[in-house]
């Protein structure tokens, strides 16, 4: 009887998906696994079905999206636009919420590779995952550094950070804090922090960044933000790295009887439609989410067509005035 793919998988003690990936050279696999599968095929004299392999390698029109969580307003709006725009172009989308969990992200990635997606758009925080080094799979990153070969789509983080910090200074604040992720996380969003620190130093002010890890719970984040007010009761301005953090800080400030903007100025970052609708008073730096999504799709399609792409695409930001960042009637 002619040996089947499942016979190879059983002898090599791996899954059928793994055997298929070895046959079709898709996804990251260790050399040990490849050697085991090839040895099993040789021992069984297994001959892959050529027609099946041709069908397997055919374009699937499937695109994988991996983001931390669509529960976050920024990622939710971004994924919604990506999904709709990709659908309009004839693609189907598979979405994975990594929840900033490295193992979960790796599992999603392997699942997407086994589904034979044509390409990936990724915005998750984890770095150094070997599966992203698969050179034959087109990948585009949004606001994340994955590896040297993957193009990055981002907002103008440095200009946005500078604009937010300069606004707080122009409004009279001197004790200004900034919230951001861990310094060792290599992402374009870290330029917001760099811009904040540069701008503070240019004005002879002392920068202080409060590190907020992406993987902590809501309650842990609340504790960090409460501690900000405990340790800096004289804080006059806060530049939060995202609008959700800005909202949390605003609520804590109100609980502690700070008047915003009279006693405390707050500027956020993201400016999603949801946040600007629910809390129009929040002063924030608006990322052009639709432009970012469209640029990501255009870049991925270039990769799918094996055309050259730039390493980085920077989209402009703009200031949403709101009220929380303005003590004086100043035109920016």
What mean pLDDT is reported for the chain?
88
Residue 257 lies in a domain: yes
Which pLDDT does position 272 carry in this prediction?
A: 97
What is the pLDDT at residue 87? 95
Q: Can you give the CATH number for the domain in which 39 is found?
A: 1.10.260.40
Residue 156: which of 185, 195, 209 has the closest Cα?
Answer: 195
- Please give the residue range of the domain that contains residue 263: 157-287
List Cβ neighbours of 1 (8 Å cut-off, separation of 6 or more). none
In the prediction, which pLDDT does 186 show?
Answer: 75
Q: Are 139 and 119 in contact (CB under 8 A)?
A: yes
Which residue, 130, 132, 126, 169, is CA-closest to 149?
132
Task: Pick the last residue of a domain from 32, 57, 82.
Answer: 57
Q: What is the DSSP letter of 268?
A: E
| Nearest one of 215, 289, 284, 277 to 249, comparing CA atoms | 284
* Residue 229 counted as domain residue: yes
The total number of structural domains in the chain stands at: 2
The answer to whether residue 143 sits within a structural domain is no
Question: What three-state secondary structure class fits 95?
Answer: strand
Is the residue at 79 inside a domain? Answer: no
Domain's final residue, options 15, 33, 57: 57
SS3 state of residue 234? coil
Same-domain status, 51 and 172? no
Q: What is the pLDDT of residue 261?
A: 97
User: What are the structure tokens assigned to 324, written together?
Assistant: 């929380």
Q: Is residue 88, in this structure, part of any structural domain at all?
A: no
pTM reported for the whole predicted model: 0.79
Q: Is the domain of 164 the same as that of 281?
A: yes
Predicted local confidence at residue 129, as pLDDT: 58
The H helix count followed by the E strand count for the chain is: 12, 12
* Through-space distance between the first and last CA atoms of the chain, rounded to whole angstroms: 78
Q: Note the pLDDT of residue 95.
A: 84
Q: Which residue has the tokens 């698969």?
A: 134
pLDDT at residue 54 in the model: 42
Q: Which residues of the chain have pLDDT under 70?
A: 25-27, 48-58, 98-102, 104-105, 108, 111, 113-115, 125-136, 328-332
d(CA 25, CA 55): 14
Write b or e for each residue in 186-224: b if 16 or more Cβ atoms lie within 10 A of its Cβ, otherwise e.
ebbbbbbbebbbebbeeeebeebbbebeeeeeeeebeeb
CATH of residue 171's domain is 3.40.50.2300
Of 267, 287, 307, the one marking the end of a domain is: 287
């Amino acid at each position: 009887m002619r040996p089947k793919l499942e016979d190879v998988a059983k002898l090599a003690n791996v899954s059928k998906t793994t055997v298929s990936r070895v046959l079709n050279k898709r996804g990251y696999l260790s050399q040990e696994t490849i050697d085991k599968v090839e040895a099993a095929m040789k021992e069984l004299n297994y001959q892959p079905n050529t027609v099946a392999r041709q069908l397997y390698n055919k374009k699937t029109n499937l695109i994988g999206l991996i983001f931390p969580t669509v529960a976050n307003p920024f990622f939710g709006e971004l994924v919604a636009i990506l999904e709709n725009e990709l659908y309009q172009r004839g693609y189907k989308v598979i979405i994975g919420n990594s929840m900033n969990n490295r193992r979960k992200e790796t599992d999603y990635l392997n699942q997407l590779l086994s589904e034979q997606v044509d390409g990936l758009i990724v915005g998750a925080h984890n770095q150094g995952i070997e599966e992203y080094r698969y050179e034959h799979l087109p990948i585009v990153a949004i606001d994340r550094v994955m590896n040297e070969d993957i193009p990055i789509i981002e907002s103008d983080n440095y200009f946005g950070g500078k604009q937010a910090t300069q606004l707080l200074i122009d409004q009279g604040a001197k004790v200004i804090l900034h919230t951001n992720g861990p310094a060792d996380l290599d992402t374009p969003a870290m330029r917001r922090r760099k811009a904040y620190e540069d701008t503070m130093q240019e004005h002879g002010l002392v920068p202080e960044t409060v590190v907020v890890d992406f993987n902590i719970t809501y309650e842990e984040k609340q504790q960090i933000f409460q501690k900000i007010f405990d340790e800096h009761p004289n804080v006059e301005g806060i530049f939060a790295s995202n609008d959700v953090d800005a909202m949390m800080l605003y609520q804590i400030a109100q609980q502690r009887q700070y008047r915003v903007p009279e006693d405390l100025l707050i500027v956020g970052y993201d400016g999603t439609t949801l946040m600007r609708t629910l809390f129009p008073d929040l002063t924030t730096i608006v990322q052009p989410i639709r432009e970012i999504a469209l640029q990501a799709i255009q870049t991925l399609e270039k990769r799918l067509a094996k055309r050259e792409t730039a390493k980085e695409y920077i989209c402009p930001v703009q200031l949403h005035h709101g009220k929380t960042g303005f003590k004086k009637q100043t035109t920016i």
